[in-house]
Structure 1
Amino acid sequence: MSDPRAAARSPRRRRDADSTRAALLKAADELFAERGYDHATIRDIGERAGVDAAMIARYFGGKAQLYIAVLHEEMSDDIPQDMLDPLRMRHLVDRAVRRGPSPIFQVALRPHDDPQAQAASREQLHRRIVGPLVARLTADGVDRPQEKAEILTAAFVGVLTARASGAFDRMPDLDADELTSLLLELLPPRH
């Protein structure tokens, strides 16, 4: 007689769990970017992932924890270059052009209804975008680096969001290279 617990620990079952978890993370990342945290439903995430939505509770605990896992999946332990670095800006713009503003940018537009998701988004926005920019501006001797970093971040998020809003005639036609180039022209050069 075989031990049912051994089957649960089998490599095949682990691969299935890994692929289910990965599919949920990918679907959630896409839907959070497209609709925002508050409008991406657990059911829609499960459908896009091709799995039962109940798996979200099993693997993550709930929608807020899944959202936090998406945020952590996107980051590394390294503090990224500031957004004024041309390669970093190109990466951020390219992602927004392809998939919409990232979940951490959405917190700059409107607070999430869920306090846990709000806190996680805000923390990542400051860790990955505002903080590196403050460090750069401080190193450059810029007056009021925190305030200026926050304003630059808000302007950048606004541009990425406005591009997809339909409110402007030419911005939606700009590809990632053109948009990055124009943004770098408008933002202050490094001293």
Structure 2
Amino acid sequence: MDIDEMASFYEMLGFSVTYRQTRPNPYVCVRREDLNLHFYGMPGHVPEESHSTCVVIVEDTGVLFEAFAAGMRERHGKLLVAGIPRMTRPRLRNDRYTGFVVVDPAGNWIRISKGTTEPEATTPLAKAVENAARQADARGDERQALKILEGALKKADASEDRAEAEAYRDELIERITSSSPGESGQRPGA
């Protein structure tokens, strides 16, 4: 892992570097408001095989997502939703928490979650979106999430939830098609 690449990525998201060392071991600390993240370099690290994750609890996932997305769009011209690095959109998962995930250049999964639960989904399609989000955005199993959404969309009528489900399906397809051939995408133990 390259700490300069990590610092640059998090600066794009609005963090500032608060500490950096190259010797005896590479190490970088970044901060945005009261969020402090620390990373160390490791020779031979393969981002696609990373098992590193942390959960960050915030009051409003939407505000933080929009700030991160603005930085990403400014630097890359778009929201990175596939590959490494990437960021998912905030969604209600079937655990009734709203959240999104940032996967940084080292393959660390930073899970941003709202600290309070939301009301349960009431329509079958909304429940399917929650289930799919749990599979893809929390576990990294985009293929299973896509199966869930496609099955639910086949059964669904023209409900107000349909546009959100179709947009998420399209995002999952993009994430799957941009994965490298040997990459499963699934997070062990997630």
Taking structure 2 as the reference length, what is the TM-score of the superposition? 0.28
Q: Rg larger in 1 or in 2?
A: 1
Structure richer in strand, relative to its length: 2
Taking structure 1 as the reference length, what is the TM-score of the superposition? 0.28
Structure richer in helix, relative to its length: 1
Larger RCO (CA within 8 A; separation ≥ 6): 1
